Amino acid sequence: MRKDLVTSWLRRVSLADKCLILFGGAVVLIVLVALSVPWLRMGALVDGGQLELSRNLATVWTEAQTATGSRAPADAVADKAGFEADRLQLADARARADEDRALRRMLRRLESRPDRMEAQHARWDGATRVYRYLAAERDPEGQLVSVVHLSRRSTDAAGQLVVNTAYLLSAGSLVLGLAVVVFYQITHRIILSPVRSLRETAERVRSGELDIRSDIETGDEFQELAETFNGMLEHLSETNSQLRSINAAMDVKLSELAEANSVLFETNTLKSEFLANVSHELRTPLNSIIGFADLLLAIAESEQKADGPPNPDLVKRTRYLQNIVAASKNLLSLIEDLLTMARLEAGKVDLHIEKLSIRDACEGLVALIQPQADRTGVLVRGEIVGELPAVETDPRRFQQVIFNFLSNAVKFSAQSEGRQGEVILRAERLAPGHGEEDRERVRVSVIDNGPGIPPEEHDRIFEKFRQLGEGPTRQYGGTGLGLAIAKELAFLLQGEIQLVSDVGNGAMFSFILPVSFDHALSAEQLLEGRFRGALAGRRRWA
């Protein structure tokens, strides 16, 4: 936690303050270390002078006691000189040293080295310096026999130390102040000023002033950095100018594309309207043609039965009428596909949802496709797997999707060489899935043993006006709208189409739809389709 606070504080401190704090602290530390050496040396000199004074006083006190043979004259000298002295035998000195730490230290020094003749200890007592001196008295063999202990108080030594300390502190403060000022000026001119100039330039560039340049002339790395920064700005300005030119060109291209897209959209709208209008207008006369052709064909067939032996002219007329009826019905189927696709694109397909028996619907579809299968020699059969629930859907649109699959399957299975063409209409119930597929569903599949479809064509055949580029498909013509319509209707019925096929293995088209119909979702889909259709109409006349 403390580390995070320190890091946060350092991030808020400016570079100038960081330099002042870090380098200023370093200067203070260096000055203190440099001043500590003479301060210690001066203290040693003062203590050395006091040691010499203590030695002389001890000598005078010892000589006075030796000359008179009495201690009284020596004590008088000590009193007059302002110190206390005493001669202690080694045993007495050791006994007193047990309670006197300073004496114990000095005695230990004398005993540790036979050549050492004196020891001194100094301490502060308030504003007075107290010195204790111990002189050794040894026998001829160098063994310590007794010591002379001297204790005195010195105000002169304390004054010298205080005065020396004051001088050192004054000199240190002066040196420190000058160092900080000089350092600040050097740092400000050499480091901080170029950095500040670069920062101001960068901030103005960030605000959008790409024409500004840095004018640092320090002759060092900062000038090189400024020149590099200026070069980057020049490159950025050139790139920005190029981007503006490219954007302007793209705006022109976008305008052209928008105009072209508008033309294409209007063309597509005109196409849809043309298909819807023409398909609707062609269907009425075509129904009349089919009706009259059926009537003429029925009359011709009745006349042929009544005349007995075949009449060549009547047979030819019957064949011509059959061709007219077949071609007219094919044309009507194409027109119906075009009209249905136009309605799908305009969002005008209405659904009539009701309960549908899949079994009955499949049996009806097999019966409906049977005449076409008999003409081409294809075997069609139905398979109902298990019990199937009633499905909520549009029966007409459902049959339109499945019949399209059946028609294609019969058409292509008839072209199989060396084997009987076969088509299977299979219906089965699917178990509920997970997530979005948790609804109960039914799958209706159309399986054939035809030539199959290459995997790369699976998506392409569901596009509008698309057919396979090569193969049997080209023998039948058509608009290529059947599977596209089936895909759109499957979407409106809330189902999906799956295709499994490969070359030489036939094909399986499956229509998977839910058992229950979501009316809310259907309303959204129809509303969206109608909105797109209405929008297309408004754009057409805008």
User: So what's the pLDDT on residue 128?
Assistant: 84
Question: Does the residue 1 lie in any domain?
Answer: no
Question: Does the residue 529 lie in any domain?
Answer: yes
Question: Does the residue 314 lie in any domain?
Answer: yes
Does the pLDDT at position 345 exceed 70? yes
User: So what's the pLDDT on residue 541?
Assistant: 36
User: So what's the pLDDT on residue 14?
Assistant: 66
Query: For the segment 378-403, what is each residue's pLDDT rounded down to a tens digit?
Result: 999 999 998 999 999 999 999 999 99
- With beta carbons less than 8 A apart as the criterion, state whether 218 and 226 touch: no
Query: For the segment 55-101, what is each residue's pLDDT rounded down to a tens digit?
Result: 888 888 888 877 777 777 777 777 777 788 888 888 888 888 888 88
**Are residue 340 and residue 357 in the same domain, yes or no?**
no
**Are residue 326 and residue 356 in the same domain, yes or no?**
no
**Are residue 226 and residue 105 in the same domain, yes or no?**
no
Average pLDDT, the chain: 80
User: So what's the pLDDT on residue 16?
Assistant: 63
User: So what's the pLDDT on residue 129?
Assistant: 85
Helices (H), 377-419: 395-413
Query: For the segment 142-193, what is each residue's pLDDT rounded down to a tens digit?
Result: 888 888 888 888 877 777 778 888 888 888 788 878 877 877 777 777 777 7
User: So what's the pLDDT on residue 307?
Assistant: 57
**Are residue 391 and residue 327 in the same domain, yes or no?**
no
Q: Identify the residue with better confidence: 237 or 362.
A: 362
% of the chain with per-residue pLDDT over 70: 84
**91-116: average pLDDT:** 87
CATH of the domain at 108: 3.30.450
**385, 371, 369: which is closest to 444 by C-alpha?**
385
Question: Does the residue 194 lie in any domain?
Answer: no
**315-323: average pLDDT:** 81
Using DSSP, state whether 131 is helix, strand or coil: strand
Using DSSP, state whether 141 is helix, strand or coil: coil
Tokens representing 271 are 């196409």
The residue length of the chain stands at 542
**323-349: average pLDDT:** 76
Element (H, E) at 289: helix 221-307
Domain that holds residue 127: 14-179
% of the chain with per-residue pLDDT over 90: 13
User: So what's the pLDDT on residue 470?
Assistant: 46
CA 510 to CA 441: how far, in whole Å?
Answer: 12
User: So what's the pLDDT on residue 531?
Assistant: 61
Q: Which residues contact 56 (CB under 8 A, 6 or more apart)?
A: none
**Are residue 122 and residue 31 in the same domain, yes or no?**
yes
User: Residue 213: how many CA atoms within 13 Å on its side-chain side?
Assistant: 11
CA 119 to CA 116: how far, in whole Å?
Answer: 8
**Are residue 290 and residue 158 in the same domain, yes or no?**
no
Using DSSP, state whether 517 is helix, strand or coil: coil
Residue 481: which pLDDT band, with cuts at 50, 70 and 90? Answer: confident
Question: Does the residue 6 lie in any domain?
Answer: no
Element (H, E) at 265: helix 221-307
**Are residue 364 and residue 330 in the same domain, yes or no?**
no
User: So what's the pLDDT on residue 309?
Assistant: 66
User: So what's the pLDDT on residue 535?
Assistant: 54
CATH of the domain at 423: 3.30.565.10
**Are residue 290 and residue 353 in the same domain, yes or no?**
no
Residue 458: which pLDDT band, with cuts at 50, 70 and 90? Answer: confident
Query: For the segment 194-241, what is each residue's pLDDT rounded down to a tens digit?
Result: 777 777 887 877 787 777 777 777 777 777 887 887 888 888 888 888
**Are residue 138 and residue 230 in the same domain, yes or no?**
no
**98, 91, 104: which is closest to 134 by C-alpha?**
104
N-to-C CA span, the chain:
67
Residue 540: which pLDDT band, with cuts at 50, 70 and 90? Answer: very low
Element (H, E) at 537: helix 519-541
Element (H, E) at 355: strand 354-356
* Number of folded domains that form the chain: 3
Find the radius of gyration of the CA atoms of the chain: 58
**Are residue 480 and residue 339 in the same domain, yes or no?**
no
Burial label, 451 (beta-carbon count in 10 A; 0-12, 13-18, 19+): buried
Does the pLDDT at position 437 exceed 70? no
Q: Identify the residue with better confidence: 343 or 493.
A: 493
Domain boundary, last residue among 297, 321, 346: 346
Tokens representing 354 are 């009701």
User: So what's the pLDDT on residue 382?
Assistant: 92
User: So what's the pLDDT on residue 363?
Assistant: 92
Count of beta carbons in the 10 Å neighbourhood of residue 406: 25
Domain boundary, last residue among 115, 147, 179: 179
Q: Say which DSSP state 310 is in.
A: P
**Least confident window among 22-26, 40-44, 451-455:** 22-26
**Least confident window among 162-171, 354-363, 370-379, 509-518:** 162-171
**Are residue 357 and residue 333 in the same domain, yes or no?**
no
- With beta carbons less than 8 A apart as the criterion, state whether 364 and 300 touch: no
**Are residue 335 and residue 365 in the same domain, yes or no?**
no
**135-145: average pLDDT:** 85
Question: Does the residue 100 lie in any domain?
Answer: yes
User: So what's the pLDDT on residue 471?
Assistant: 47
Question: Does the residue 185 lie in any domain?
Answer: no
User: So what's the pLDDT on residue 239?
Assistant: 85
CA 80 to CA 72: how far, in whole Å?
Answer: 12
Residue type, 322: Q
CA 33 to CA 18: how far, in whole Å?
Answer: 22
User: So what's the pLDDT on residue 10?
Assistant: 54
User: So what's the pLDDT on residue 394?
Assistant: 92
Question: Does the residue 146 lie in any domain?
Answer: yes
Domain boundary, last residue among 289, 316, 346: 346
Residue 473: which pLDDT band, with cuts at 50, 70 and 90? Answer: very low
Residue type, 238: E
CA 12 to CA 18: how far, in whole Å?
Answer: 10
